[in-house]
Structure 1
Amino acid sequence: MKLIVDAQLPTKLCEILNQLGLESFHVAELPKGDETPDEEITELADRQNLILVTKDFDFYHSHMALGKPKKLFLVTTGNLKNRQLFDLFRNNFLLIKNALNRSNFVELNNEGITEHE
């Protein structure tokens, strides 16, 4: 399982995900970096079987209407300090990993993980 982390989330999140055993990279590493259009991110994610990790509800709407991206991990925590966000990922790591293996749409909120579909 490999993840691509969208621009609204900190690049440091990739380091934490990698430490937890979830291979990931940030859109900032793409040739167009944070300026990469959503459609290109979606195409890349689907072509390379990546799970898109994002806070951007545009990806949610696209996933629900068109099934693109195929695999979506939506972070709906609202504004948190990075440390709080990272702790949510660390504290829910096993739930996240299992949910991503089972579902095409997973949501992380302040209470934990929700699998959709």
Structure 2
Amino acid sequence: MRILLDAQLPRSLVRPLEQVGCDVLHTLDLHDGNLSADNMISSIDDIAVRIVFCKDADVVRSHLLRGTPARLLLVATGNIGNQDLTALLLRSAGAEPVA
């Protein structure tokens, strides 16, 4: 699974997802880092066939109205610790958290 993590998700999620075989980029890895525009994130997804994991309502609107990014996982958890968030996303990626 190829994933792009949006700026609103912690970079600490990259390693656990990589450990279960995912190819993961975080917006911090992009040229403009966390300042990358939503349309840049969407174009990376569409060109590189990545699933965007995000909390950003603007990205959701773009997905619904324009179909970009083509693949989107909306993270709508409210306040949740990074350990629980990691476990949730690993399950979403089809893997179980490493104990």
Asked whether the two chains share a fold, i.e. TM above 0.5, the reply is yes
Higher RCO structure (Cα 8 Å, ≥6 apart): 2
Q: How many residues align?
A: 95
Deviations 1:18-43 (A, max 9, x none): 11211111010111100111111111
1:39, 1:56 → 2: CA distance? 12
* Aligned match of 2:11: 11
4+ aligned runs moved over 2 Å, structure 1: none
Counterpart mapping for 1:52-71 below 5 A: 52-71=52-71
* Aligned match of 1:112: none
Q: Secondary structure at the match of 1:58?
A: helix
More strand by share: 1
Deviations 1:27-80 (A, max 9, x none): 101111001111111111111111111011111111111100000011111121
Letter of the 2:54 partner, please give it: T
Q: Quick one: percent identity of the two aligned structures?
A: 35
Counterpart mapping for 1:26-45 below 5 A: 26-45=26-45
2:57, 2:19 → 1: CA distance? 27
Shift of 1:89: 2.5
Counterpart mapping for 1:21-100 below 5 A: 21-90=21-90, 92-93=91-92, 96-97=93-94
2:16, 2:54 → 1: CA distance? 15
